[in-house]
């Protein structure tokens, strides 16, 4: 997918930054598509630091715009998507400093889906400004880790990518087996 994005960056070079930021916003609003392919394309096309900065701007703006849209349109929906994440459910009822620190900490955790953090904040009581600042600050370390990881993977030759794929498949299999095992009370 990042190959297609790089193609568009090359084809419309003068608009590449805007294309990247626009796609990041769309990814954030949809809330279910991982953003690493945009980060990878940015790193390959713009270089590590500029690509990381553009990814940050796109993800921060995407979260802010998604928050606004979710707040306007999704506040009436159920809180069911949050049932699997107790901290996210807690965010719905927090305001001020407590909401700020929880959003910040949730953005730092790579296994908490970004779209759900935005959704929980939007249907909750947190202010727009508090969300925007906490979310953006929290994205900085997470995005640096993502950018570094993605950059390292893009530098792999096919052998490294094959090894990484085998390890990933094995880890998925182990997690799947663990989840299938009945838990003892």
The predicted structure's pLDDT at residue 150: 80
Residues 6+ apart with CB under 8 A from 16: 8, 9, 10, 45, 46
Does the pLDDT of residue 183 top 80, yes or no? no
The predicted structure's pLDDT at residue 182: 66
- Chain Cα centroid distance, residue 5: 18
pTM of the complete model? 0.74
Domain assignments of the chain as residue spans, ordered by start: 2-180
Measure the CA dihedral 131/133/139/140, to 10°.
-170
pLDDT digits (tens, 9 = 90+) for 83-130: 666 766 677 777 888 888 888 888 887 667 788 888 888 888 888 999
Does the pLDDT of residue 176 top 60, yes or no? yes
Q: Which of residues 129 and 168 earns the better pLDDT score?
A: 129
Q: Which of 57-61, 81-85, 177-181 has the lowest mean pLDDT?
A: 81-85
- Share above pLDDT 90 across residues of the chain, in percent, rounded to a whole number: 27
């Amino acid at each position: 997918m990042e190959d297609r994005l790089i193609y568009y960056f090359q084809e419309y070079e003068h608009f590449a930054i805007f294309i990247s930021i626009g796609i990041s916003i769309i990814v954030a609003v949809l809330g279910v598509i991982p953003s690493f392919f945009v980060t990878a394309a940015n790193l390959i096309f713009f270089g590590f630091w500029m690509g990381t900065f553009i990814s940050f701007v796109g993800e921060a703006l995407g979260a802010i715009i998604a928050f606004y849209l979710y707040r306007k349109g999704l506040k009436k929906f159920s809180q069911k998507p949050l049932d699997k994440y107790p901290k996210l459910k807690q965010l719905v009822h927090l305001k001020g400093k407590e909401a700020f620190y929880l959003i910040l900490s949730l953005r730092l955790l790579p296994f908490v889906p970004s779209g759900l953090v935005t959704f929980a904040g939007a249907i909750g009581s947190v202010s727009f400004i508090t969300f925007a600042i906490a979310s953006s600050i929290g994205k900085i370390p997470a995005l640096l880790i993502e950018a570094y990881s993605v950059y390292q993977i893009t530098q792999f030759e096919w052998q490294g990518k094959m090894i990484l794929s085998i390890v990933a498949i094995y880890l998925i299999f182990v997690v799947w087996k663990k989840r299938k095992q009945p838990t003892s009370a």
